A and B are shown apart, each in its own frame.
Chain A
Amino acid sequence: MQSQLRGLSAALIYFVALLILAFILAPLIAPVIIAFSDGIIVAFPPQRFSLRWFTKVLADEEFLAALAFSARLAAAVTVLALALGLPCAFGLARRRFPGRDAMMALIMAPLIFPVLVTGLALLQFFTALGSRNTFLHLVIGHTVIAIPYVVRTAAASIVLVDEAIEDAARTLGATRLCTFLFITLPQIRQGIIAGAVFSFVTSFDDYSLSMWLADAANFPLPLQIHVFIQRFFDPSVAAISTLMILFSMMLMLLIERGMGLSVKRLVTT
Chain B
Amino acid sequence: MHRRLFQSFGSAAGMSGPALAAPAVGFLLVFLIVPLAAMLLYSVSARVAGGVLVPAFTLENYARIFTNDLYLRFVIRTLRVALTTTLLCMILSYPLALILAHGNRTFARITMLILVAPLLVNLVIRSYGWTIVLNTRGLLNWLIASVGLPVPGQILYSEAAVVIGCAHLFLPLMVLPLAAAIIRIEPSIMDCGRVFGASEFRVFCHIVLPLSLPGLAAGSALVFPLTAGAYVTPALLGGNFASLLGNLIEQQVVAASNWPFGAALATLLVAILLLVNLIFLKLFERKTARWVHRGR
Chain A interface residues (CB < 8 Å from chain B): 1, 3-10, 13-14, 16-17, 20-21, 23-28, 30-31, 33-34, 41-45, 83-85, 87-88, 90-92, 94-97, 99-100, 103, 106-107, 109-110, 112-118, 120-125, 128, 140-141, 143-144, 147, 151, 163, 166-167, 170-171, 176-177, 179-180, 184, 201, 204-205, 207-208, 211-212, 221-222, 225-226, 229, 237-238, 240-241, 244-245, 248-249, 251-252, 256, 261, 263-264, 266-268
* Complex: A163 Cα to B16 Cα, angstroms: 16
Instruction: Determine how close the nearest CB of chain B comes to the CB of A161; give it in whole angstroms.
Output: 9
Instruction: Determine how close the nearest CB of chain B comes to the CB of A158; give it in whole angstroms.
Output: 8
Instruction: Determine how close the nearest CB of chain B comes to the CB of A3; give it in whole angstroms.
Output: 5
- B112 nearest in chain A by CB position: A263
B246 at the A interface (CB under 8 A): yes
Once A84-B24, A121-B266, A226-B232 are accepted as A-B contacts, the answer to whether A94 and B99 lie under 8 Å apart by CB is no
B196 at the A interface (CB under 8 A): no
Instruction: Determine how close the nearest CB of chain B comes to the CB of A253; give it in whole angstroms.
Output: 9
7 contacts between A and B (CB under 8 A): A13-B98, A17-B103, A26-B140, A117-B266, A120-B263, A252-B117, A266-B176
Partner pick for B17 among A6, A94, A184, CB 8 A cutoff: A94
Contact A241 B190 (CB under 8 A): no
Contact A95 B6 (CB under 8 A): no
* Complex: A167 Cα to B3 Cα, angstroms: 9
Q: How many A-B residue pairs have CB under 8 A?
A: 318
Once A28-B126, A225-B124 are accepted as A-B contacts, the answer to whether A167 and B232 lie under 8 Å apart by CB is no
B128 at the A interface (CB under 8 A): yes
Partner pick for B128 among A45, A90, A241, CB 8 A cutoff: A241
* Complex: A49 Cα to B107 Cα, angstroms: 33
Q: Known A-B contacts: A84-B23, A124-B42. Give 16 more (CB < 8 A).
A: A3-B102, A5-B102, A31-B128, A91-B16, A114-B226, A117-B36, A121-B266, A122-B31, A124-B263, A140-B31, A163-B6, A170-B6, A180-B12, A208-B229, A240-B125, A241-B125
- B110 nearest in chain A by CB position: A21
Main SS of chain B's interface residues? helix
Q: Which of B49-57, B58-66, B179-187 contacts A (4 or more CB under 8 A)?
A: B179-187
Contact B249 A120 (CB under 8 A): yes
Q: Tell me which residues across on chain B come within 8 A of A244, comparing CB atoms.
A: 121-122, 125
Kindly supply a per-residue 1/0 record for chain B positions 1-40, scoring 1 wherever the CB is within 8 Å of any chain A CB and 0 otherwise: 0000011011111111111110111011101111110110
Q: Which 3 A-B pairs have the closest CB atoms?
A: A114-B229, A95-B17, A91-B20
- B194 nearest in chain A by CB position: A6
B171 at the A interface (CB under 8 A): yes
B282 at the A interface (CB under 8 A): no
Contact B113 A24 (CB under 8 A): no
Contact A245 B99 (CB under 8 A): no
Partner pick for A166 among B9, B42, B115, B128, CB 8 A cutoff: B9
Q: Tell me which residues across on chain A come within 8 A of B74, comparing CB atoms.
A: none
